[in-house]
Amino acid sequence: MTEETKSPVPPPALNTTGEDNSATKVAPVNAAAASKSEGPVPLPWASPLVEKYRSQYGSGIEAQTYLGQNYITADSTLIHNFLRQLRDDDQFDFCVDITAAHYPKREKQFEVIWILYSFARNERLRVKVKIADGASIPSSISIWPTTNWLEREVFDMFGIQFEGHPDLKRILLPDGWKGHPLRKDYGILQQDQEWVQINLGIESGQ
């Protein structure tokens, strides 16, 4: 088990450049944060599992570990097969969660994250894929049925399309709502005024 209960503190980074080289990391918002050097840094993660997939997919996947938590960044074209293999071959039979994050400054604005767990290995793994705005990724419902609502929520909140999802519609917001609230360009006070006026009969919900 490579879990984090003992939380091995990674060696302090010797050079500041080593910190944000990873493309998986957030584009720093201010320079001050980027120049902080004491924090732990993501390290390359080596394990038989990674070796196996590296040999299969080559540079399509990139494995890292941060604070004892492992994650793999995969290419969006091979993600479906990769996830299926993770479930079938490596017993990651429990998809804990799917979520996404929005990085408007990047070329590929969205990062979709699968949080997986294997009962047999008692191990967690995150799989990430980066996609551009408007691009779609294959739905993983056929792999884990639980992703039905989770994908709907990601669609609702970020507007990411999941190809092959049988019923991709809004889940938490009302059906006619415009906008995807968890995008960074959606202000916290913003709302679909038109929807509010038509459906609730009030000027504004604020």
Partner 1 sequence: MTPSDQSSTHVLANAAPSDVKPGDSPKTYLDSNELIINMGPQHPATHGVLRVILKLDGERVLGTECVIGYLHRGVEKIAENRTYAMFNPYVDRMDYVAAVSNGLGYCEAVEKLLNVEAPARAKFIRVILTELNRIASHQLWLGTHALDIGAMTPLFYTFRDREEILKIFEKYCGARLTTHAFRIGGCQYETYAGFEKEVKNFVKFVTPKIDEYEALLTNNRIWMERTKNVGVISGKDCVALGVTGPVLRASGVKWDVRKAQPYAAYSEFEFDIPVGTKGDTYDRYLVRMAEIRQSLRIIEQAVNGIPEGPIMAKVPKVIKPPIGEIYHSIESPKGELGYFIVSDGTTQPYRLRVRPPSFVNLQALDVMVRGLLVADVVAVIGTIDIVLGEVDR
DSSP 134: T
- The interface with partner 1 within residues 110-129 (CB under 8 A) comprises 113, 115, 119, 122, 124, 126
Contact 60, 80 (CB under 8 A): no
Q: Does 174 bind partner 1 (CB under 8 A)?
A: yes
DSSP string, 71-87: EEEE-TTTHHHHHHHHH
Interatomic CA distance for residues 129 and 116, integer angstroms: 14
Residue 134's identity, in one-letter code, is: G
Binding mask 33-62 for partner 1 (x = CB under 8 A): xx-x-xxx-x--------------------
Are 60 and 78 within 8 A, CB to CB?
A: yes
Which of 49, 84, 46 lies closest to 65 in space, CA to CA? 46
Q: Does 135 bind partner 1 (CB under 8 A)?
A: no
Min separation Cβ 175 and partner 1, Å? 10
- One residue of 11, 14, 17, 30 binding partner 1 per CB under 8 A: 30
In whole angstroms, give the CA distance from residue 28 to residue 24: 12
Nearer to partner 1, 51 or 104 (CB): 104
Residues that bind partner 1 (CB under 8 A): 3-5, 7, 9, 19-20, 25-30, 32-34, 36, 38-40, 42, 66-67, 69, 93-97, 99, 101-102, 113, 115, 119, 122, 124, 126, 141-142, 144-150, 153, 157, 165-167, 170-174, 181-182, 186, 188
